[in-house]
Every structure is written in structure tokens, then in C-alpha cells.
Amino acid sequence: MYSIKSSRVRTLKKIAPFCAALLIIVAIMPACSCRRQSGYTWHSDVMTDYFNTLITLVGYTKTQGEFDLYFQQAQARFAQLHKLYDIYSNYEGINNIKTVNDKAGLEPVTVEKDLLDLIKSAKEWTLSGHGKTNIALGPVLKIWHQYRTEGLYDPENAQLPPREVLEEAAKLSDAANIIIDEQGSTIYLADKGMSLDVGAVAKGYATELVARELETAGFVSGAISAGGNVRTIGKPLDGVRDRWGIGIFNPDSPVFSDDRNLDTVYINDASVVTSGDYQRYYYVQGVRYHHLVDPVTLMPAGYYRALTVVTVDSGRADLLSTELFLLPYEKSRQLAESLEDVEVLWIMPDGEIRVTQGMTKLLRSYGASGQD
């Protein structure tokens, strides 16, 4: 019974991210049959085993063999980072986030630089005065995950977590108790029962690392699509477009409808990340409860249907998409406009779309296109 339940829930959890990823990939693909410029040809390949989503690498290279080498490099790196940032599984010879969580209140854990840097930057953000994106909220998110999983398996008996249980778990979510020793390369959770959850930043952070390493290796034209995260490299070398077009999913549209993309944002050497209430959720008595939980109310935030962030760094975009999603509109917009090189699109609960001024220069609906 357990294996059947686990398999079914995993399938349900993956449907929305996979479909959203496919929509983004379709938007990235060339819109014409002309696929060559100076000997460059369009190629793509897919990974399915990392970060609970579909990861696609697309791009233009001079040969299939050249693209395959870049893909193999990206795949190997995503596999490594997936293991490091995993909160559920142990891997032989690797100290990952699960290891850190298991040793909470017991002892520091020696970790690799890629993990130390992620936790350090996320902790700094939490303690900077914003704090809605809190990687120490693991005990609370674990409870929501359990109730959501059970609700997906048995919808008729779906329940909300008891308030007192959430409040007790929240006592263990102080990011100041994440003790990082950079010289010794260790992470220690000071309170037993603490746990880290990096779901709000890990995928984007990993995508940015992989993109930069591909650029260093000589990959000059492409994009990585990892669920709701897209990072572009260079410009499309198809002889037609000057910018990549990334689809913004319409949360009210059936997945396979003709108008599934709400808009298109055109970028080069930048990232587009979307957070939304349609990505992971369950219903309790007809009310939808998604996975983006406010650390103050301990409930899923209800300010927007979805929110899209455009900025250069994919890790920063991933974190900000969650942070801004958890803030009421005035505070969300104020924060967005205070940050350099950040543009945002908000989809309100009634479907109204609001954008930052700079976003209007990037959106198809405001006249932007793939040509300069």
C-alpha cells in the first residue's frame, strides 16, 4: 500500500511543474524553419531526475556532438547539486542538507562549498530584514508537506494542519540558529528539531551555477529551463531573433489549451522565474491550499495567483519570486522597485495584471518582440 501511495503522490506532484516546463520550452523554441546562422544549428535535450522537475537544455552549436558535450556537463552538474541540496535522501560519501538536518542539535557537519555558499546567502537574506523567505522554516513546511501529500492521496478526507502544531514547529525556525563556519566549512543547526528547506532557492541557485559553468566552457547561445526557472545564455543564433522569448503561464488556462501562455517576456543573458498557487497544491473543503507558506501566518499566502521575476541571476530570481509572492502588493512592489535590475509581473487573484515600469519594455503585450 505504501509504495502505491508514494507513486501516485509523486505523479500528482510532478504533473503541474512538468506541464509548465513544457509550455516554457515551447516558447523558447524557434518560431520558424530557419535554424542556421554562421553554421549554428538548434539542439535540445531533457533531464528528468533532478529537482523534481523537467530540466531542458536548448541552444545553438555548430555540431550535435558539441551540444551533447555541453548537455553531459550540465547533466552531471545538476546530478551533483541535486544530491547536495536534497532534504529527503542520503547519498554515500555526501553530506547534504538531509545530513545537516539529521545532525541538528548534535554536531556540525562538514559540507562542500556549493552547499555552504547556498546556505550562507539564503541565511543572510533572511536576516537582512525581509525574512519572508526563510530556509529555517523546514519544521513548518514539513508539516504542510505531510498534510498536502495525504490530501492528494485521499481528497475526501483532506485536512489542514492544526494551528497549535504549526506554532510549535515555528519555534524552531530562527535562521540565527544556523551556525556557519566558513573556515571549517561546516554548518550546524543549534536546536534539535531544526531543519532546513531550500525549495525557495535551490533550483534557481543550481541553474545559475550550471549556466555560468557552461558559459565558461564556451556555450554561447542557449537556455536552461528548470520548471518555473529559465536562464538564458547569449542570444538565439537562428538568423531571425535577437532575443529569447519566454512564455509566462496563464494560471487560469487549462494546460493544453491554445491560450496557455498569458504573455511572453523577451530577454538575453537573464533569468525568468515564476512562483504560483497552481504549481503544488491540494484542496480542503473546496479551498485550494498551495505550497508557498508565509512564515508569519504559517498559512499559504493569498495575495496573487502567480508572480514572475526577471533579473540576471537565476538564484536571486528564484528567491525573490517567493519573497515577493509572500508580501502584500504594496510591500511587494516597494521591495521590487528598491532592487536594482529587477522587474516583476503580478497576477492578482481576480486576474488583473500589474507590472513594474521596466517590465513593459520586455513584454509582448506592450510591444516587445524577439527583434531589436
For residue 108, the domain's CATH number is 1.10.3980.10
% residues pLDDT > 90 (the chain): 82
Summarised one tens digit per residue, pLDDT across range 129-172 is 776 899 999 999 999 999 999 999 999 999 999 999 999 999 99
The verdict on 261 and 354 lying in the same domain is yes
Say if residue 10's pLDDT is above 80: no
Averaged pLDDT of the chain = 90
Q: What is the mean pLDDT of residues 102-127?
A: 97
Inside any domain, residue 146: yes
The verdict on 13 and 126 lying in the same domain is no
Of 159, 189, 219, which one is at a domain's C-terminal end? 189
Q: What is the mean pLDDT of residues 262-282?
A: 94
Model pLDDT, residue 38: 66
The verdict on 308 and 252 lying in the same domain is yes
Say if residue 110's pLDDT is above 80: yes
Which grid cell sits at 148? Answer: 498536502
Give the CB-side neighbour count of residue 290, counting CA atoms within 13 A.
19
Residue 326 burial class via C-beta count within 10 angstroms: exposed 0-12, middle 13-18, buried 19 and up: buried
Q: What is the mean pLDDT of residues 288-311?
A: 96
**Number of domains composing the chain:** 2
**What CATH number should be reported for the domain holding residue 63?**
3.10.520.10
Say if residue 22's pLDDT is above 60: no
The verdict on 310 and 223 lying in the same domain is yes
The verdict on 168 and 263 lying in the same domain is no
Say if residue 7's pLDDT is above 90: no
Say if residue 35's pLDDT is above 50: no
Q: What is the mean pLDDT of residues 202-223?
A: 98
The verdict on 219 and 251 lying in the same domain is yes
Which grid cell sits at 308? Answer: 514572475
Inside any domain, residue 372: no
The verdict on 229 and 339 lying in the same domain is yes
Model pLDDT, residue 208: 98
Say if residue 123's pLDDT is above 80: yes
Quote the domain boundaries for residue 172.
97-189
Decide if 178 contacts 196 (C-beta within 8 A).
yes
Inside any domain, residue 107: yes
